[in-house]
Amino acid sequence: MAYFKLTIMLSSLILLLLVSISSASATYKHVPGKTVPKAMEVVVEGMVYCQSCKYSGTWSLAEANPLGSAKVSVVCKNYKNRVTYYKSFQTSESGYFYAELKGFEMSHSILDHPLHACHVKLVSSPLAGCNLLSNINYGMYGASLRYEDKRLYGKEYEAVVYSAGPLAFRPSYCPPEETRLIS
């Protein structure tokens, strides 16, 4: 009985994965006399913060400040674990990054899908006082992407938007806790 339930659950998960992959694959727009591929882009968005000294060493972003001009990278690897895409992106003044993965291609539609092929990593911070990497949401080693059913549409353009993070740098120096309590 347990084997039967496990088989049904695994079959359902595989079916769900195939449906989500097919919805993210390239679509075609019909033009009289021709079939023209509609441009399908992959976009990753997220936020980068400077973690508060009060919560340094934890995964908490309470009292964190958005970090403008920080750099993150998007790294995608194929099913053979080889890097197939790499590009760095800079955050806006509000700490937000919008990374269009121009040139990203999947050689294998299931194994090279952005959800498991791509990760976002922290690269650099513009603030000398907040420039140490933290591993909040795995920003040091690669934050996984999340699909949140978000798409952007335009004439001859469609983008599937994934989320990553939030990510954070941590302060390079935090005063001892007694000093922070006195201030």
DSSP for 44-79, please give it.
Answer: EEEEEEE--GGGTTSS--TT-EE-TT-EEEEEEE-T
* Cβ contacts of 155 within 8 Å, gap of 6 or more: none
- Residue 26: pLDDT above 50? no
CATH number at residue 63: 2.60.40
**Each residue of 6-17: pLDDT tens digit?**
455 545 545 444
Of 35, 182, 41, 38, the residue nearest 106 (C-alpha)? 41
Domain of residue 46, residue span: 2-182
Q: How far apart are CA 12 and CA 17, in angstroms?
A: 9
Q: How far apart are CA 72 and CA 32, in angstroms?
A: 43
**Each residue of 90-122: pLDDT tens digit?**
999 999 999 999 988 877 666 668 888 899 999
State the pTM of this model: 0.73
Total count of domains within the chain: 1
